Chains A and B, each alone.
Chain A
Amino acid sequence: MRNAPAATLPAEAGTPNHGSPARSAAGFGVPALAGSACALDRRVFLRIAVATAGVASLDSVAVAAETAPAVLIDTNVYLSRWPLRRLPCDETAALAAKLRANGVTQAWASSFDGLLHRDIGTVNMRLADECRRHGDGLLIPFGSVNPKLPDWEDDLRRCAEEHRMPGIRLHPNYHGYKLDAPDFSKLLRLATERGLVVQLAAIMEDRRMMHPHLQVEPTDLKPLADVVKKTPGLRLELLNLKGHLSPDLLKAGDVRMEIAMIEGVGGVSTLLSQVPADRVLFGSHAPLFYFESALLKLKESPLTEDQLRAIRCDNARRLLAKKS
C-alpha cells in the first residue's frame, strides 16, 4: 500500500445497495446481467423500476414492462463540464435521467475534467462519487490516467484498488503523448495486469471547429497495432473513431470500437461490412453529443437481431466480464 491519501468515499445516505457484493461482481458496482440474453427478465425489470420510480407510477411501469427494451450498454459517456460550453445534460442527475429514458441500462462514464485537470486523483475521486450518488448502478466509472504526470502509476492503482473501477479512459492527444511512447506501453501493460479495460479516445470533437486556443491534433493510431501485439491480454476499446478499425488492429489483439462518430448514411451497416460485429459496441459520446444520435444509427442501418444484440449489449458485457 502506497502512502496515497485514502480515497474511501462516504456512503451517501439512502443510496440503496451501495457497495453491496451483489452489485460489485465486476468491480465498481457493475450489476451482473441475468443469463446470457440481453432482454431483462420482466420481474427483475419491474422490481428495479418500482424501486426507482415509486408507487405512483406503477401503472406506467407495468405498461413499460410489457415492452421492456433490451439491455443497452453505452460505453462512451462523460460526467462533469465540457471545458468550452455548458451542455444540456452536464449535470449527472440529468444525464442519468436522459440515459434511462432512452433505455440505457449501464453507461461507462469518464470525466471531462480528465482532459485538462492535473489533479487527476480528485478527478477520479469525484467521478467515482458521482457514479455512486447519481447512477444507482447505471453509471460505471472509467478513471483518467495521464502517463505524462509524475507518479501516474499511483493514479492507476487508485482506479483499480480504491475506486474498484473496471477500466480506465485515455486521452493521448490532450495529454500530449504519442502511442509509440514507452510510458504508453507501460500503462497498457500495468492496466492489463490489473485486469482493467482500457478505453482510448481518438478525438473529442471535430478539429475544424475547435477553440483557437485549444486546438488538439487527433491521436495518431498508426503505432497502436504494434503496441497491442506486445501487450498480451490487453482489452482495448477505441472511442470516437471517425473511420473503421484497420485490418492491422483487428489482427493485433482484442481491440474494439464504438459507434458515436461513425457517419455516412447507413453508417453502422457499412462499418459491419468491414469490421466483425463482435468488435463493435454502442457508444453515444453524451452529453457532448446528443444521445439520440447513436440510438438512431441503429435504427437507420438494417441490422440483424444478432448484430443488434451484439452492439447493444453482448460485446460490452463480454469485454467487461473477460479478465486477462
Chain B
Amino acid sequence: MNHEIWDVHTHLAGVPGKTPEEKLGRLLEYADRVGIARLCVMMGMTWNYDPTPEFMRKSNDEVLQAIRKFPDRAFGFVYLNPKQTQASLDELNRCVRDGPMVGVKLWCALHCNDPLLDQIIARAAELKAPVTQHCWIKITGNLPGESTPMDMAELAARHPKATLICAHTGGDWERGIRAIRPHANIYADINGGDPTAGFTEMAVRELGAERVLYGSDAGGRSFASQLAKVHGAELPDAAKRLIFAGNLKRLLRPILSAKGIKI
C-alpha cells in the first residue's frame, strides 16, 4: 500500500552539501527514494544547545534560505531558546507571523516545564503553530537542559490549547508514551531512536492513532529506519495513513490556511 508521507522532523545537519539549499536538495533526493512527499525542517547547518539571539537568527536564516528553494516540499520550524525569551518571541514573529515558517522547535536549552516557556508557548498557540520539543529519558543521564516527556506533561497541563509534539517520544518510549498519555494536546513523534519493534503499536494502543506522528530525525538518522516503525508495525492501514501524513496535515491545516497555503 502506498501512503502519502510527511516527515515532521528533519534537519540540515548531517546531510551532504555546502549551502542550506544544497543540503535540503540532497535530503529531498533521499526522501524521494523512499516516497516521502514533504519535510518539516528545523535548525541550521550547525547546532548549539544554548543559542544566543545571533545564533538563533543565523540558524533560522539558513532554514528560511533552504525552504524558499523548495516551497512545495518543505516547511520550516523556527528554532528558539526560552532562556532568550524576548529574542525568541521576536524570532517567532519574524519567522512564523511574518515569514513562511509554520512551527516551533525547542531543543536542550531549558527543561520545558520551566515557566520561561510560557510566553513562547502561548504566542505559538495564538499563531496556531505546533511546538516540537526534544524529549529524552536517558538512563545514562540527560543533558542539563534536556527535557523529558514528564516535563512536557507539566507544560501541556499549563497550555491545554497549544499543540505540543513530543519529539522522540522520550527515546525510552515505553515510559514516554505513559507520561504524555493523559494530555490530549501532546502528540508522539516517533522519530530518532532505533527502530525497536512494538514502539508504534504501543503508541497507537495507548494514545490512539490520531496522536502519533511519523518523523525521521534525518540527516542524523536514516529515513529508512524511521519509516520502518510505521511500515513494519502491525497496524491497520487507516492508522498508518494517519501517522504518515493525516495527523500532521490536520495539525498544520490551521496555520497553513492562515497563510493561504492549500494542501
- The residues of A with any CB-CB pair to B shorter than 8 Å are 85-89, 205-212, 215, 261-267, 286-297, 299-302
Contact = CB atoms under 8 A, between A and B. Distances in A.
Contacts, number: 116
20 contacts: A88-B233, A205-B194, A208-B136, A208-B139, A209-B139, A263-B220, A263-B222, A263-B225, A265-B15, A265-B27, A286-B197, A289-B195, A290-B228, A290-B232, A291-B232, A292-B231, A293-B195, A293-B222, A293-B228, A299-B224
Contacts of A296: 34, 222-225, 227-228, 231
Given A264-B220, A299-B224, A87 B139 contact: no
Contact of A208 (B138, B221, B228): B138
B172 interface: yes
Contact of A299 (B34, B195, B220, B221): B34
B245 interface: no
A262 B225 CA distance: 9
Main secondary structure of the interface of A (DSSP, over half): loop
A215 B138 CA distance: 12
Contacts of B227: 292, 296
Contacts of A295: 224, 228
B16 to A, nearest CB: 8
Contacts of B46: none
B139 A212 contact: yes
A261 B194 contact: yes
Nearest to B10: A265
Interface in B130-186: 136-140, 171-172, 174
Contact of B140 (A85, A205, A208, A297): A208
Interface of B: 14-16, 26-27, 30, 33-34, 136-140, 171-172, 174, 193-198, 201, 218-225, 227-229, 231-234
Contact of A209 (B14, B27, B172, B231): B172
A265 B197 contact: no
A88 B228 CA distance: 14
A290 B227 CA distance: 10
Given A208-B138, A267-B224, A299-B34, 17 more contacts: A88-B198, A88-B233, A206-B194, A208-B136, A208-B139, A215-B139, A263-B220, A265-B30, A266-B30, A289-B197, A290-B195, A290-B228, A292-B232, A293-B225, A296-B34, A301-B33, A302-B33
A290 B197 contact: yes
Contacts of B197: 87-89, 286-290
A211 B140 CA distance: 11
A268 to B, nearest CB: 8
A297 B139 contact: no
A138 B89 CA distance: 59
B30 A205 contact: no
A88 B201 contact: yes
A243 to B, nearest CB: 14
Which of B27, B201, B227 counts the most A-chain CB atoms under 10 A from its CB?
B227
A211 B139 CA distance: 8
A290 B34 contact: no
Given A207-B140, A212-B139, A300-B30, A288 B222 contact: no
A295 to B, nearest CB: 8
A294 B171 CA distance: 20
5 nearest CB pairs, A to B:
A290-B232, A296-B224, A293-B228, A292-B228, A292-B232
A294 B228 CA distance: 8
Nearest to B15: A265
Contacts of A206: 171, 193-194
Nearest to A208: B138
Nearest to B137: A209
Contact of B225 (A288, A297, A299, A301): A297
B167 to A, nearest CB: 15
B25 to A, nearest CB: 12
B172 A293 contact: no
A265 B222 contact: yes
Task: Pick the most buried of A87, A286, A300: most chain B CB atoms within 10 A of its CB.
Answer: A300
Contacts of B233: 88, 290
Contacts of A294: 224
Given A208-B139, A208-B140, A297 B201 contact: no
Contact of A210 (B34, B139, B229): B139
A100 to B, nearest CB: 15
Contact of B219 (A209, A265, A299, A301): A265
